[in-house]
């Protein structure tokens, strides 16, 4: 058996730094870099999201832990020491809670601290990159031996490298993530963590390169953000029924609850996506003025958009003036020579 099979941190015997933590942090950093790159492509500073990240990432971790603790309370925490709630290095972060808390914290920071910046445009830069962070973070689940599927024949997955298949079978030893899971000889548990990662990367490219092209002139700020929730819900809806019952949050009978949560994510994403277009359409037709809440929201976001547009136009004009000055200096120098 490969030496990596049951190592889940450094050092191997009693890990001080777990691979789970390294992949979670690594995924978040990659998402930050991608968010900054996407913002830079639109004319912002490359460091645009650095401060936002320092707020959103810790909030995402807290939200992910709270979601997991609530879901696992009766089976894992009710009879455990109180400090077990804080032992996140042992695993136990729920992506649903992390995504909601992290996005909400980032939105609030931009709303209150980045005056003149359109909120939905910022979320469109950052939120789709969460899919990449999730894909990387799932490798932490791999080393923790969790988020696996049903027991399947190894022959059907023989194309995978041995360091992956070795960590998905255990002989007579209990798995790290579920001690009562024993996989028979010649079998492995299906690598749902890997399948989910591939789907997440595919959705990331679909949202960031395909969505705007598909919508064309109908694309609106916020569409990419709301489609993330649709994409995440679809992924969970497809994969949750395949998950091994021992790797489901809550009791082994809670698989239907996980599917219901996936449907909720899809529904919320679709509703927000439709509202995003409907509100803008009604606003263009001047039909929101008599609706106090929607009218105020529309005016606010329009003012934020107009504000940032004015700033960009001003910057472009300044650049043009600088170029004119340089050309004039060059002409004067050539004339003297």
Domain ranges of the chain: 9-266, 296-337
How far is it, in rounded angstroms, from Cα 334 to Cα 327? 10
Q: What is the pLDDT of residues 178-204, one digit of tens each?
A: 556 677 778 888 899 999 999 999 999
* pLDDT band, residue 166 (cuts 50/70/90): confident
Q: Is the pLDDT of residue 114 over 70?
A: yes
* pLDDT band, residue 116 (cuts 50/70/90): confident
pLDDT score of 92: 79
How far is it, in rounded angstroms, from Cα 121 to Cα 118? 5
Q: What is the pLDDT of residues 15-66, one digit of tens each?
A: 778 888 899 999 999 999 999 999 999 989 999 999 999 999 999 999 999 9
The H or E element spanning position 229 is: helix 223-239
Question: Which of 262, 127, 121, 261 is closest to 203 using CA atoms?
Answer: 127
272-309: burial string, b at 16+ Cβ within 10 Å, e else: bbeebbebbebbeeeebeeeeebbeebeebeebbeebe
| Packing angle of the helix pair 130-143, 223-239 (nearest 10 deg) | 30
Which one-letter DSSP state was computed for residue 291?
S
Average pLDDT over residues 62-71: 90
Q: What is the pLDDT of residues 84-99, one digit of tens each?
A: 888 887 767 888 889 8
CA 141 to chain centre: 16
> Are 295 and 114 contacting, i.e. CB atoms less than 8 angstroms apart?
no
- Is residue 321 helix, strand or coil? helix
171-182: burial string, b at 16+ Cβ within 10 Å, e else: eeeebbbbeebe
- Is residue 18 helix, strand or coil? strand
pLDDT score of 78: 83
> Are 212 and 124 contacting, i.e. CB atoms less than 8 angstroms apart?
no
Q: Which of 4-13, 77-86, 151-160, 253-262 has the lowest mean pLDDT?
A: 4-13
Q: What angle (nearest 5°) sits at the alpha carbon of residue 174, between those of residues 169 and 175?
A: 60
CA 247 to chain centre: 21
> Are 266 and 236 contacting, i.e. CB atoms less than 8 angstroms apart?
no
How far is it, in rounded angstroms, from Cα 158 to Cα 165? 8
Residue 9: strand pairing partners: 18
Q: Which stretches does DSSP call E strand in 159-269?
A: 187-189
Q: Is the pLDDT of residue 268 over 90?
A: yes
């Amino acid at each position: 058996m490969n030496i990596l099979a049951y190592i889940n941190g450094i050092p191997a015997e009693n890990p001080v730094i777990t691979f789970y933590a390294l992949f979670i942090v690594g995924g978040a950093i990659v998402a930050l870099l991608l968010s900054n790159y996407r913002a830079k492509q639109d004319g912002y500073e490359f460091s645009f999201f650095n401060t936002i990240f320092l707020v959103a990432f810790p909030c995402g971790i807290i939200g992910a832990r709270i979601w997991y603790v609530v879901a696992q309370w009766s089976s894992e925490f009710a009879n455990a020491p109180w400090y077990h709630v804080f032992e996140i290095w042992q695993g136990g972060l729920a992506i649903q809670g992390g995504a909601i808390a992290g996005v909400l914290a980032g939105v609030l920071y931009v709303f209150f601290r980045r005056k003149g910046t359109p909120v939905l445009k910022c979320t469109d830069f950052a939120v789709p990159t969460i899919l990449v962070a999730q894909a990387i973070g799932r490798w932490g689940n791999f080393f923790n031996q969790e988020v696996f599927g049903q027991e399947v024949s190894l022959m059907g997955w023989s194309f995978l490298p041995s360091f992956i298949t070795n960590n998905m079978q255990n002989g007579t030893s209990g798995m790290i993530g579920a001690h009562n899971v024993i996989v028979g000889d010649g079998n492995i548990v299906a690598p749902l963590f890997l399948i989910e990662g591939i789907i997440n990367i595919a959705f990331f490219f679909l949202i960031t390169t395909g969505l705007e092209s598909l919508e064309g002139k109908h694309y609106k700020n916020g569409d990419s953000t709301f489609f993330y929730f649709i994409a995440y819900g679809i992924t969970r809806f497809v994969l949750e029924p395949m998950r091994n019952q021992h790797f489901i949050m809550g009791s082994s009978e809670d698989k239907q609850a996980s599917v219901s949560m996936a449907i909720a994510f899809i529904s919320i994403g679709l509703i927000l996506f439709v509202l995003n277009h409907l509100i803008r359409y009604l606003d263009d037709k001047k039909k929101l003025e008599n609706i106090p809440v929607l009218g105020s929201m529309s005016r606010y976001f329009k003012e934020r958009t107009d504000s940032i547009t004015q700033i960009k136009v001003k910057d472009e004009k300044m650049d043009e003036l600088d170029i004119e000055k340089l050309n004039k200096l060059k002409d004067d120098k050539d004339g003297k020579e």
